Amino acid sequence: MRIFRFIGYGFIILALAALGYEAAQALANDGWQIFALGELWFKLDAQSINISQSSIQRYISPWVWEPIITSILLCPCWSIFGGLGLILIWLGRKSLRRKRWFH
């Protein structure tokens, strides 16, 4: 389960980087603006977000995109990455089995 922890720590680093980016933009622009996950996706590859939207609406269901995925894409990057990181770290934790000594 080390791979879950490793990937989880990677997501935590991404969350801190996104939070740092938001803070740097706040200092430069004299105001805090949320750096949404959808905005990051659009900056990385604008065409893939449109392809994903049309594919999900056509092959799965239109209601999956609009209320569910749109809500996730409007969340701050640091919250999504941080949440995923914490979940993966929790899933990859070592099980603490206590040895019971019987006398």
Shared domain for 44 and 27, answered yes or no, is no
pTM confidence score: 0.81
Per-residue pLDDT tens digits for 46-64: 999 999 999 999 999 999 9
Residue 99 pLDDT > 80: no
Shared domain for 86 and 60, answered yes or no, is no
Kindly state whether residue 101 falls inside one of the protein's structural domains.
Answer: no
Q: Which of 93, 77, 95, 72 is nearest to 11 (CA)?
A: 77
In terms of residue numbers, what domain contains 41?
Answer: 36-75
Kindly state whether residue 98 falls inside one of the protein's structural domains.
Answer: no
Residue 20 pLDDT > 60: yes
Average pLDDT for 86-100: 77
Looking at residue 1, its pLDDT comes to 77
Percent with pLDDT over 90 in the chain: 80
Shared domain for 20 and 51, answered yes or no, is no
Number of domains composing the chain: 2
Q: Which of 77, 80, 54 is nearest to 65 (CA)?
A: 54
Average pLDDT for 16-44: 92
